[in-house]
Amino acid sequence: MRDPDRTIQNLLAGLRDAESSPGMHRRILDAMVTGQATAYRSRQLLYPAIAMSLACALAITIWVQHHRHIPPNLRSNTTNVDAVRTKPPQTVALPREPRRSTSRVLLRPMQTPGFPAPPLPLTGQEKLLLRLAHRNDVQDMTLLNPDVQAQQSAKATQQFQQFFGMDNDQMRSESE
């Protein structure tokens, strides 16, 4: 470039003398007025909204507190007008419930039995029997018969006696 200084000066002069569009002032002021009016209106609506939400929260709290202290049976009595009329007025001493901690209240549904009660788990022997029944092996099934078991037991005892040369009387005397 032949004369860079001059070009730089021209460019900087162009930046310096840049003119905004004629309506800029007006637009800015309008935007400020609009923005301010919106903020003012939203602030005016904000306080009633806060008051309403506080009132709702208070009402809900009172309702919850009231219903927590009256047991369900008494609550139903108070709603039934005829029952109130027929029954003589009597003072009910409400049993004071001890104050519960939040964690205990949360645990309560887990500890109470469900309805209907879930089936109890099978014992080891029951599981073994189930397995045998599912396998359907003839030999295993015959073993389950008490007569067969008794026969086998007698046979085993006999074999034992024969092997060691003992008779019943000897065995009894030894065991005594």
- Residues in contact with other proteins by CB under 8 A are 1-5, 7-8, 10-21, 24-33, 35-37, 39-40
What is the closest distance, in whole angstroms, from the C-beta atom of residue 50 to other proteins in the complex? 18
Residues 6+ apart with CB under 8 A from 174: 166
In angstroms, what is the minimal distance from the CB of 6 to other proteins? 9
* Tokens standing for residue 129: 């029997």
User: Which lies closer to other proteins via its Cβ, residue 32 or residue 74?
Assistant: 32
Nearer to other proteins, 42 or 61 (CB): 42
Is the Cβ of residue 26 or residue 69 nearer to other proteins in the bound state?
A: 26
Q: Which is nearer to other proteins, 45 or 84 (CB)?
A: 45
Please report how close the Cβ of residue 108 comes to other proteins at its closest, in angstroms: 52
Q: What does the angle CA 70 – CA 75 – CA 77 come to, to the nearest 5 degrees?
A: 135
Three-class secondary structure of residue 2 per DSSP: coil
| Least Cβ distance, residue 10 to other proteins (angstroms) | 6
Q: Which residue has the tokens 């073993």?
A: 143
E strand or H helix that includes residue 61: helix 24-69
And the tokens for 67?
């219903």
